[in-house]
Structure formats: C-alpha cells, structure tokens
Amino acid sequence: MKKLSILLSLTLLVFAACKNDPASTSAGEGKTLEEVTTPKEGNVKGIGTLAAQQEYMNLSPSIEKSYIQWTGSSASGSSHTGTIKLLDGGFHIIRGNLKQGSFTINMGSITVNDLSGSDKADLEGHLKGSDFFDISKFPTGQFVITGITLPESPDSGITHNIKGELTMKGIAKEIPIPLHVELQGDNVMVTSPEFTINRTDWDIKYKSGLIGTVKDKIINDEIKLKINVVVPVSAG
C-alpha cells in the first residue's frame, strides 16, 4: 500500500518588534513544545487507516490561500469585516495525529473587506496604528498550540479542541479554538467555526467600555475570528 506521510515542520518565530524591544516578550521564546498525546491513531480526518504507514514530509502552509477572518462591531450595531494573512508556520501531524502547531501572523496585512476608497484606507490605517495593533512596533503576532483534546462527538464537525498562546503587541494570552483538520486531495485544510477573543487582553482599549467611553461610542471588546489555513501536501 502506498505510504502517505505528513510532517508540518514548525519554526517558533519571535516577534521582529520584540527583538528591538527588551520589555516585550513573545510566545514560545525559550520554550520547547512537547508533543501532545492523543488517544487514537489517525485523528486527522481523511487520513484513516494510512496513518500507521506514514513517514515524514516537510510542508508549509500556502501564504496566498491562508488567512484569518475578523469581525469587529460597535455598541450601536455597526460592524466591519476583514482578513489578516500569515507569514509562515505549520503543524506536526505524525502517524495521522495532530501533535503540534504554530503560525506567525502578518499584522501589517490587516485589510477591511466591507469598505472601499478612502474609508477603507482610513480604517486600515487606524487599525495598524497605536490605538489598535501598533504595527510599527509589533509587525507580527504568533499563535502556538499548547494543548490538544479530541471532541466527544466527532460528528459535530470539530476534529480537535486546541488551546494555545496568542501573542499580539508583545503580550501572550492562552485561548481555546475548535478546529476541523482534514486531508482533502492535495491539501490539509485547517479551519475553525467563528470564535471570539477579547481585545483588551492584549491592551487594545481604544473606545472600550473599560475606560469609560460614552455608551454610544463604544467599540465592542470582543472580536470574532475564523481560521482558514491551507497546507499543500504530496504522497510518497
């Protein structure tokens, strides 16, 4: 039987900004990830019985096709959507089991999808500025998986429940993310349903209710996110 092997090699990258800012710290620095033991072979959907026959491949995500979708909203009910691109990263999938993972986020790639012209440019510039992600100091973010469990009901569409450190603006916070990881043809697809993070955990407090913003001017602290990572693979 033809052997299929998948190993997505990880490089835990430190924020470029943090290298220039001694007061900042980045997730994964000085830390060695331990493989997460999962209770069954081949838990990545689509790999099936080939899992026990796998050797290794060195693979990288498609930067062109991979992105994080975001939605931000205000207390008045208005909202905006957009995307953020990755710089690099990957996942360890060993004997068909998801073991480790990380990716580096290109904060300078923040785009707004529901506006055009000067309105689009103005909002993108504001999000990249010091009121929000301050990309001149912190041009990259990072997510590093620290734990993986399998759902009780795989029929839910979720194949893995992960937790990990999300680092933005030099601040690392652990968050949970439900994932669907599946081999589809020549790609491993890593996607998530919509989940939320609280921007104030990363010291992004512009027009937050926490700082006494007038009610009708408040921008909600919760940001909705969805992950779509495409990893090309080949058989050998």
Q: Report pTM.
A: 0.78
**The two structure tokens encoding residue 217:** 């001017």
Question: Worst-scoring range by mean pLDDT, 4-13, 78-87, 116-125, 165-174?
Answer: 4-13
Domains of the chain: 16-192+209-232 (2.40.128.110)
Q: Which residue has the higher pLDDT, 60 or 163?
A: 163
Q: Which residue is listed with tokens 């020549």?
A: 186
Q: What is the CA radius of gyration of the chain?
A: 19
* pLDDT over 70 at 107, yes or no: yes
What is the pLDDT, as a whole number, of residue 34? 43
pLDDT digits (tens, 9 = 90+) for 17-31: 333 343 333 333 433
What is the pLDDT, as a whole number, of residue 13? 30
pLDDT digits (tens, 9 = 90+) for 188-226: 899 999 999 999 999 999 999 888 888 878 999 999 999
Backbone angles phi, psi at 178, to 5 degrees: -80, 135
Distance CA 166, CA 19 (A): 18
Question: Helix, strand or coil for residue 133?
Answer: coil
